[in-house]
Structures are given as C-alpha cells and as structure tokens.
Chain A
Amino acid sequence: MKQTMPRKVALVANCLLNQNAKVCEGARYRGLVSPVVEALRSRGYVLQQLPCPELAFAGARRWWAVYEQYDTPAYRAHCRRLALAIAPLIESYLRNGDEVILIGLDGSPSTGVRFTSSKPDWGGRPNRPEDDWEIVPRRGVWIEELEAELGRRGLPPLPATGWALDMGRFDEAGSRRDLEEFLDSRESGGAGPRNKDSGTS
C-alpha cells in the first residue's frame, strides 16, 4: 500500500456497519449503526471494517451463544484465519504512522472488548427461556485472536472500546456517550496520527 499522510483509522466490528451479521433478534438497526458511524466520521476517522467471525463459521441462522461455546480450537483457528486476512491492512496503517483504534461490540462472545457474555453451562437443546448469561470483563474470542496476531507481528496494543450492544438491555444514549467520551479523551489526551518516524515495532 502506498504511503500516505498519517490518518486516524477506526477498526470497526463488522456488525457496526452491517447489522445483518447479528444473530437472530440481535439487530437493533437496519444496516449501519448510525451513531457509531456519525461519531467516528465527525471526528475525522477513516473506517476499516473487520470481518464477522461468527457469520462465516456458524452461519446466518446460528443460535445465540456465549464465550465458552466459541472457545474451541476450531473456532479459534477460524478466527486466526480472519486475523491473517485483515492484519496486513492494520499493519500497513500502523507502519504509516496512522493512529489506529478498535471499536468492538461489548457483550459479544466474539467481538467483546471490555465485556463478553459468559455462561459455562450453556449447551445442548437451546431452550433457555430467559437471558440468563452473565457479562464478564474480558475480550471476546475473535478480539483475543486478532490481538494475538497483531502481537506476533510486533505491533503495539491498540486503544480499544466497545459499543455496548450486547450487554442485555441496550441503552443507545448511554452507549453513545460512552463512545464519545472514549474518542474525545483521545483528542484531549493529545493522541493523534503517530509520528511516522516514531516506529511501530
């Protein structure tokens, strides 16, 4: 990729630009999650969509699942393949001196950043009458594998947050405030496109 002036780049969870990727009954918007897109574009971020790990693995009509159900060797291998697909782009941004941030999906078993969903005894017939999973503070499986691949390439950890779509009761106004505080704290903290000469490895 040709070198360009350093930019601000937001790696965005697939379903934040495409709610059709969500598990059945999980879509809160028709397509784009417009508050996220607006918050990022208004602050000058370039959008880079991440692949959806669950859709290509378990399909468009998959059951709901928690972290423990996706924490399998086969799913992690699938996530590593996706990480290999997208990591060269991320690496090129970082080598160009771009400021790169990650916006995941809090509560997701795959794309959670600050929180994921957990219920170790989920399994078998999908007959849970209530939303009885727990929210625990850890990455989802996909984000763990993506960060591991970036680490193998000698790239620094990315500043990251999550849009709280999968935390149980969805609070759009609260999620928007939360995201804007994260983005504005980066501005006020002096974060910006990295000096190209500072190196990233």
Chain B
Amino acid sequence: MIRMLDIRRSYCLGLTEVNALQGVSLEIGPHEFVAIMGPSGSGKSTLMNIIGFLDRPTAGAYFFEEQEVGRAGDDRLAELRNSRIGFVFQSFNLLLRYTALKNVELPMIYAGVAPRQRREAAAAALTEVGLADRMGHKPNEMSGGEQQRVAIARALVNRPAILLADEPTGNLDTQSGKEIIDLFIKLNNGGTTLIVITHNREVAEQSKRILHMRDGQLIREERQP
C-alpha cells in the first residue's frame, strides 16, 4: 500500500538547512497497525506529513497504491488527502464555529457529496465513534475525548485507505486516551490501515509493529506478537 524508497526532506530555517528526513525507506501493507516512536525532532511528524500528502519529499520515491506520488501536483495531493487519507491531530483541529455534524461533513463538501447524503454519512460516522447524542454540539461544548472522537469521525467519513494519527492522545487524560486507542483498535480490526505517532509506550504496544526514529532516520523496528 505504501512503499517509500530513500525519502529525504530538507528545508531552510532562516539561514540553516535542516535535514528532517535523511533517507527513510519503509513499506506498510493494507490493514496494518503501525506505531512510530522517537524523540522530538526525530522527523516523525515530517514523515507523517509526507505519508499523508500534506508535504512532498525533496528526494526519494514514494509509491502509494502502486503509483509514484512524490512529484504530484497540489490538486492531485488534495484529492488524495480527501479520498484516501484520514487525519487525526493532537490538537483535534476542528472548526470551532461549526457543530460536530458540520465538522464531520467537511471532507464530503470537497468530495462533492450532496447535502442530504452528507448529513446521513456524517451522522453514521458520529454514531460509529459513540457520539450519536452530541451531533448538534460545537467543539467548545465538548470534552477533549469527545472532540477527538469528532476528529476521528471526520477522518473516517470518506472511507479512507489509511488513518494517520499524530499524537492522538497527547492532549487527553488517561481514561479518554485509552478510549480513543480502543476505538482505533476496533477500526483496525474492521480493516482500516492505521499509522499512529506517539511518545507513549503503552499506546505503541497496542500496535503490531513499532518503528523507531532518530535524527531523520528509521533506526529500529519491533514486531509485536
């Protein structure tokens, strides 16, 4: 599903050149649950952004579903983000002035889904994450755990191939974090490919495969039983 060959990413920060990724090669198959761990600045998020088409590699080849996408244009990347990827962020990234339902509808607006089907699909996704009774609430009327569930519903609603989560439990208390991870496991069991960045060993141990990063490189891989 994902095949990366010697991916590099460098950018300029003021006058200094930062090499965020220094030759990453990896392969992730369908239905996998992969955790990426590593200290801050190790390049985890940069890798995640490239996998999720928010960013492009400066060098290397990226094959997504057998197609080279490392040099694709903005519109093609936007389409891939819309239809193939679901993002879950540490800080939820919900639109505060919209209700939960409208937040979940957002990706479908850009997919060109008709309003009526949009509402039905958004309601179904919210029900799936256990928020059937909170659809009309705005993000600031909900707890952190609930907001993250809305974000997950939004990530799922276009039926993506991969769910990408960047520190999804980082802003949550232990109990809420555990519920979110349980939800992820449930989704993965249902067939969704899952890639999670985390600092938390306990979270990572729920996955089948842990990738360790340091200084822009993959240094070690653990396979879970």
A and B are partners in one complex rather than unrelated chains: no
